[in-house]
Structure 1
Amino acid sequence: MKISVVIPVYNAEKYVQKAVESALQFREVSEVILIEDKSPDNALEVCRILAEKYDKVKFIQHPDKENHGAGPSRNLGIENATGDFITFLDADDYYLPNRFDAEKILFQNPEVEGVYGGLGVHYYSQKAKKQYYTVFEDRLSTVYKEHHPKEVFPGLTHMRGSFGIITLNALTIRKSSLLSKMNILFKPLRFHEDTEFLFRLSYYLHLYPGILNQPIAMRGVHEDNRITDIETKKIKPSITRVLLWNEVYNWAYQEKTMREDFKIHIKRMYLSFEIANASFLKKMSMLTKFALKDSKIISKGIYNINFRPF
């Protein structure tokens, strides 16, 4: 295996060295690509030092050297990757020694296009633990049991009961499958760009379970995590989810191979979040419109969930 590890770097000068060195411990890793995204801290200099210190570390920026966000930065990393497999790592997270134990075996089967595993939690300080333990606790982010690849897309999009989640840090993708089956990689979304990408990835590629009952990578939690602002409702999560599901809805209804029942479910999810975030009068107006023009959505039960807070 020749693995390219793609690491977007923004405001992570304190953590990126640990991320890089956690990836370099594997002989299967042929390169670590750092995409410095006009970070406001000293991450640019740290990236330069790491690239000088380690032969496998590549350091790049966007052509205009401006900030473009995590999604476009990952796209730039993929564009510059030379490995046969792509993995991702956030600059404040890190890999564990068992990161590629399952992948080395599973990818011997050419039908396997992606492998996912479990993600643990590491608190960088007692202050961070005190602030965010109620959000993350010591939970393992994982898919709860082994599923056939055809069940992954319905599971991630909440069509199949309690499924669990796939995270980028615990995902490995066959690059040839990614580039041949997905015309659009990460979209330039401010929030949930990874979730939107994973929805589409699980639809187009055959994703298989790796190690699910223990972590193969760790989420680093500190006071400056962007995701913690959402999880702790500093940023209203219902608004960001409306934007996410609107994006998924637009994609699903343009995808000619998408099953009709999948489209209806995705539309229901989008409208549920949109209505939940609307004023009372707008809720009534929207529900009346759906009752008159979109009975399929009503019959699927949108009225049962759109009044509770998210």
Structure 2
Amino acid sequence: MTTLSVIIPTTVKDSKLLERAIDSVLTNRELDIEVVIVNDNSDTFLLAENFLQKYSSNNISIYQNKGVKGAGGARNFGVKQASGELITFLDDDDFLLPGRLECMVNRFNQPDDNIVLVSTGRVYEYNNFERIEVVRKQIFGRLKLHDIFIHNQIDIGFMIKKSTFTALNGFDTTFKNLEDWDFIIRCLSLGDAYKIKSHSYIVKNDDNPNRVSNNDYLGLKQLASKHKNHFGDKWFYKIKTQELRSSGALSLIKSFSLSYKLKSLYPMKNYIATLVRK
């Protein structure tokens, strides 16, 4: 049987949400699963007695991160502790629907040498299910590098062989955010991804001004700089457009300038979209 390690980084902001994440993994009973929890908070000890008692009969290990802090560093540290042939990731405030992991492992076990990464669709959950939203314009099936290099189609819950992850040196811990997108770009330089048509990764996406995703412009800036030589100027200017839009700095003049450089209305369309949202 294929062995699978599920890496859950946490800063223990909400132990109930962390338990929800763990419980959602444990519904996948047909697999040989280990859960690797990485505590990335130096000030919080996760080894509470009631927590350990609840999960004492399951294959769950808890580690204090001794590597680089932050989501990418915690995930890299977790992979080093993992014993599974396959690995996947789960944020501590997200959760999985039953059957998701089995479908992903089964897809990996099909004879297709060019699939290096497997994912599924995702759903956003807002404010304790006041509202849910299926992420729009998702692409399913086989995904190649050109499918994800302008907009990332693959969530952090992707599944990959541990050997492949290690060969790519894991997540780039210099990234402020979007380190998963950078990794996926590097990964799909080796082969294709397959995105199963199953909306089974649930993302907690509350309206919170402190969310890391509100600072996407930081990661976009790093992404543009790191991959410009590989993808060229047109790609670079599109990512710069996203960066400026994310930071609130995409003005009419800048969008005109970028549209001229791109010979495309892409920056102008993004500028108009910012006006519509105001």
CA distance in 1, matches of 2:195, 2:182: 20
Q: Percent identity?
A: 20
Tell me: CA distance 1:252–1:22, structure 2 relative to 1, closer, same or farther (3 Å). Answer: same
Conserved? CA contact 2:30–2:102, under 8 Å = no
What residue number does 1:84 align with?
Answer: 85
What residue number does 1:174 align with?
Answer: 161
Q: Unaligned 5+ residue runs, structure 1?
A: 231-236
CA distance in 2, matches of 1:219, 1:303: 28
What residue number does 2:193 align with?
Answer: 207
The count of residues paired between Structure 1 and Structure 2 equals 267
What residue number does 1:143 align with?
Answer: 138
Per-residue CA deviations over 1:75-112 (Å, capped at 9, x if unaligned) read 11111111010111111222222113432332222512
CA distance in 1, matches of 2:271, 2:209: 30
Q: Unaligned 5+ residue runs, structure 2?
A: none
CA distance in 2, matches of 1:88, 1:7: 6
TM-score, structure 1 normalization: 0.70
What residue number does 2:240 align with?
Answer: 271
CA distance in 2, matches of 1:209, 1:302: 26
Cα RMSD (Å) of the superposition? Answer: 3.7
Conserved? CA contact 1:116–1:207, under 8 Å = yes
Which residue of 46, 56, 59 maps to 2:59? 56
User: As a proportion of its length, which structure holds more helix?
Assistant: 1
- Alpha-carbon shift at residue 194 of structure 1 (Å): 2.8
1:33 pairs with 2:36: yes
Per-residue CA deviations over 1:6-58 (Å, capped at 9, x if unaligned) read 00012131211121122123342431000011176775537962696144111
User: As a proportion of its length, which structure holds more strand?
Assistant: 2
What residue number does 2:200 align with?
Answer: 216
CA distance in 2, matches of 1:145, 1:12: 33
- Report the secondary structure of 1:14's partner residue: helix
What residue number does 2:71 align with?
Answer: 70
Tell me: CA distance 1:146–1:27, structure 2 relative to 1, closer, same or farther (3 Å). Answer: closer
What residue number does 2:217 align with?
Answer: 242
CA distance in 2, matches of 1:79, 1:57: 15
Displaced runs of 4 or more, over 6 A: 39-42, 279-282
- Report the secondary structure of 1:165's partner residue: coil
What residue number does 1:120 align with?
Answer: 123
CA distance in 2, matches of 1:93, 1:46: 24
CA distance in 2, matches of 1:222, 1:303: 28
